[in-house]
Structure 1
Amino acid sequence: MAIESFGPIPSSAYTSNLTSASSLTSGMRINQSADDPAGQAIVSNLNTQIDTQDMASRNANDGLSLLQTADAGSQGINDSLLRMNELALQAQNGTYTTEQRAMLNQEFQQNLETIGNLANSTNFNGQNLLNADTASIEIALGESNNTLSLPNLTPDSLGLTGLDISDPANASLALQGLNLANQQLMDSRSQFGAQQNGLTAALENIGNQNLNTLSTRSQISDTDFARAITEQVRQSILNESSAVMQAQNNQSRGNVLQLLGS
């Protein structure tokens, strides 16, 4: 009596089926180094590049936030300078008495104190931005750095210390000092704007590079579903055909043995 047996399906077929199933399940063409050693090496390098670009984007955004914080503080200083300018002009007017000018000077000095407080309290993550404690900050952008320069906007640096408007002569001198301080402030705020534009441009460039890197990684590592499904169907057909052919071969051998036995 013949004993029928099915021959083993080639291991390469099992491996191919397993690879196709893994690619379809994970969405990744390369799930282990053996799938594509060269491709895996490229993908690893691309992953490092993407991580670097992501961190550079975060750093650039932090730099933008820092500059916006500094500019907001300088806006407060600008508001105080405008009010001090109004008070100095008002104090020059000959219709005011000494007592009235003293009242104007009191508000003038309060605004001067406000400028000092803003210069010394405007900070980002514990770093003072407007009093020369931090002259510059390096923003790491991956392969390059962007240096942010920070101004000194304290009353001393602006030339405001000691000014008063207690009489018309002092008020006239105060106006001259305020004009110089205002120009210095405007220069600093223009620098803030230029540095923000520079970081924004760098951020856009990093974003474009990141998109291109992600696209390249996707082309190498992501599953081509149409191809993977086609390959899986092809392997299934080959496996079934192999099994049928093996069964027919076993049956033929059995028939021969029966004839010989009879």
Structure 2
Amino acid sequence: MRLSHNMNSLRLNLGYQKTLKDNVSAIGRISSGVKINSAKDNPNKIAQSESMRIQIRSLQSAQKNLQDGQSMLQTADGALQEANNVLARMKELAISAGDGSKTEADRSAIQAEMTTMKDTLNSLAKDTEFNGVKLIGDENVSSNEYPSYKDTVVGAMVGEKVRIPAYNISASFLHNDEGNALSDIDLTDPDKVDQAIGVIDASITSITSIRSKYGAISNRFESSAESLEQNTLIVEKADSSLRDTDIAVEMAEFARTQILTQTSIALIAQSNNFPQDALKVLERIR
């Protein structure tokens, strides 16, 4: 008589261990909702998924930049609108000072209000800021013909940025083509009224030009934000197809492995009874 291992039970046990492992994996994917929980689950797909997740976070960060940039431009535009109102009042005062019926006292009163308007314009330039950034009162600007620039990253790739010009709309920085500054306007002298009106008109043109530039950048920010939102949704969908669990497929896998596990247990128990049955046969022969 020769004794040997129960090879049938061993083979059944190997199959049982594999099926049990698959069953546990299916349960994990169903419970977590993610089919790639670690690099070993799918080395190729995990690299793609992580790359997409980094891209998603980068796009979301760029969207925040656009929102902040839009808010900064809106803040500046509100101040520039007020600057236009101030300049409109200054032109009214200049035209009023050109009235030949005005006395010196009248012109002095007009000049006093003009000085107040200049101070208001200077305050707008000095106090208008967004998170400490000044777009219309930049002290580094020596001339509005050569503004300084604030770079804003608006995408997830290298070089995707927008340059926002910064100006200084203080009265001393607004002037006409001859270099006569708004801060030097003197309405007490009737002979300088025409010059004052010309300087104010040039200042209005400068402020309007700045608002137009900011408006164009604001429109670009808005369109870029919409584009980034669409791109983010596309990448999120692609990442979801790689990483997220297909519940229907995993439930079918769970049911399959559950049946196989239970069947393996029953077969192993039956296979383990074979040696006992052989011994019983030998006992009868004796």
Structure 1 and Structure 2 fold alike (TM over 0.5): yes
Kindly state the Cα deviation for residue 252 of structure 1 after the two structures are TM-superposed. Answer: 4.9
| 1:61 matched residue in structure 2 | 67
Identity of aligned residues (%): 27
The answer on 1:147 being equivalent to 2:163 is yes
Kindly state the Cα deviation for residue 167 of structure 1 after the two structures are TM-superposed. Answer: 4.3
| In structure 1, distance between residues paired with 2:235 and 2:225 | 15
Pairing partner for 1:191 from 213, 216, 221: 213
Gaps of 5+ in 1: 1-5
The answer on 1:213 being equivalent to 2:229 is no
Pairing partner for 1:33 from 39, 48, 54: 39
| Greater Cα shift, 32-41 or 216-225 | 32-41
Kindly state the Cα deviation for residue 245 of structure 1 after the two structures are TM-superposed. Answer: 2.2
Task: Tell me the secondary structure at the aligned position of residue 183 of structure 2.
Answer: coil
CA contact (8 A) 1:131 1:154 kept: yes
Specify the code of the residue in structure 2 equivalent to 1:70.
A
CA contact (8 A) 1:92 1:167 kept: no
Displaced runs of 4 or more, over 6 A: none
| 1:243 matched residue in structure 2 | 265
CA contact (8 A) 1:28 1:223 kept: yes
Kindly report the root-mean-square deviation, in angstroms, between the aligned alpha carbons of the 2 structures: 1.8
Specify the code of the residue in structure 2 equivalent to 1:244.
A
| In structure 1, distance between residues paired with 2:64 and 2:56 | 12
Deviations 1:29-88 (A, max 9, x none): 100111111011111111111121111111121211221122122122111101111111
The answer on 1:43 being equivalent to 2:49 is yes
Task: Tell me the secondary structure at the aligned position of residue 184 of structure 2.
Answer: coil
Given the two structures, how large is their TM-score scaled by the length of structure 2?
A: 0.84
| In structure 1, distance between residues paired with 2:260 and 2:63 | 50
| 2:277 matched residue in structure 1 | 255
Gaps of 5+ in 2: 1-8, 141-147, 176-181
| In structure 2, distance between residues paired with 1:109 and 1:133 | 22
Pairing partner for 1:178 from 188, 200, 214: 200
Specify the code of the residue in structure 1 equivalent to 2:117.
N
Kindly state the Cα deviation for residue 241 of structure 1 after the two structures are TM-superposed. Answer: 1.3
CA contact (8 A) 1:131 1:151 kept: yes
Pairing partner for 2:108 from 97, 102, 112: 102
| In structure 2, distance between residues paired with 1:23 and 1:171 | 81
How many residues are paired up? 257
| Greater Cα shift, 34-43 or 151-160 | 151-160
